[in-house]
Structure 1
Amino acid sequence: MVNINHRIGIKASPEKIYQALTTDDGLKKWWTNDISGAGVVGSTIKFRFNGGGPDFKVTKLIPNKTVCWQHAGNMPESWMGTEISFQLETVENQTFVRFTHSNWHETTDFMAHCNTKWAVFLLSLKDALEIGKGTPFPNDIQIDHS
């Protein structure tokens, strides 16, 4: 299995980051403006990009420390069986977010695309928390011309 990993330092409390990862309003500020279903363990979050997109089941929540989701839909197909986790760790005056999108079956061009897009969206999370304005879809940085 192949994993995507990123680590980013954000000048915000773990509480604020946790809220941005576990509520519809928080997620809309940095990933996509069409989200519903965030909540407790067992909830299914629907992330939409122009009408389509992935669903994730919330599998683990440790307040201000850990957020885990498991892909729960059938699109995109290459995400089936994958899991996403956010681990929060405070070091001095910042909180590091360790992001992992795990259990990819193979390295593909789509995985490389997703790897770059995750970096774009994690920088959007950083901006949302540090300067008050992220760049969620459809206002995110485009990485290709298709």
Structure 2
Amino acid sequence: MSYNIYHNLLIKASSKEVFDAVSQPEHLDNWWTLKSSGKPELNSEYNLNFTDTYNWFCKVSKVKENESFHLKMTDSDKDWNPTTFGFDLEVKENATYLKFSHKNWPENNEHFKHSSFCWAMLLYDLKNYLEKGIIIPFEERN
């Protein structure tokens, strides 16, 4: 059995702006990572760096420009390693409906629950970044 996280939200931005914010390293670093690298191309490797201890790697498992972007973890901690997370986008009247998923967690443990909460907070930061241009310094993010 595996466990999944789902969060959906409406962002008042174009699907291109949302896609770029979840797939382009220069945008990821403004709402999620400390520093990241990668290209939104199938099987491209991404480096998601949060600290020296949390310096993770993943590969693009699904990508369709301005519609979907998913990453499969390849080198992280034991809970995240079997997981895939992604963003599916749907245009809704001058906005983008973002459907987030983080699938295949091995256990419904404290780390799973904490990560679900963190994703909700980070997605709120993503919304504020795109709608209001707010960038929270990395050390102040939850």
Alignment TM-score > 0.5, same fold: yes
C-alpha distance in 2, partners of 1:122/1:135?
13
Bigger shift: residues 113-122 or 36-45: 36-45
C-alpha distance in 2, partners of 1:15/1:60?
16
Q: Match for residue 111 of structure 1?
A: 112
Deviation (angstroms), 1:37: 2.3
Residue identity opposite 2:4 in structure 1: N
Deviation (angstroms), 1:35: 1.0
C-alpha distance in 2, partners of 1:40/1:92?
28
Residue identity opposite 2:27 in structure 1: G
| 8 Å contact from structure 2 (residues 40, 63) kept in 1 | no
Q: Secondary structure at the match of 1:138?
A: helix
C-alpha distance in 2, partners of 1:70/1:89?
22
| 8 Å contact from structure 1 (residues 32, 138) kept in 2 | no
> Which residues of 2 match residues 11-26 of structure 1 at below 5 A?
11-26=12-27
- Overall identity of the aligned pairs, in %: 31
List runs of 5+ in structure 1 lacking aligned partners.
142-146
1:55-103: CA deviation from partner (whole Å, max 9, x where unpaired): 1111111011110110110x21111211011000111232111100000
Bigger shift: residues 50-59 or 96-105: 50-59
Deviation (angstroms), 1:127: 0.9
C-alpha distance in 2, partners of 1:39/1:85?
12
Q: Secondary structure at the match of 1:111?
A: helix
Equivalent residue in structure 2 for 1:70, among 56, 69, 72: 72
C-alpha distance in 1, partners of 2:137/2:59?
21
C-alpha distance in 2, partners of 1:54/1:133?
25
C-alpha distance in 2, partners of 1:106/1:42?
26
| 8 Å contact from structure 1 (residues 126, 134) kept in 2 | no
TM-score, length basis structure 1:
0.89
List runs of 5+ in structure 2 lacking aligned partners.
none
Equivalent pairs counted in the alignment come to 140
Decide whether aligned partners of structure 1 residues 108 and 136 sit closer, same or farther in structure 2, where only a CA change above 3 A counts: farther
Deviation (angstroms), 1:136: 5.8
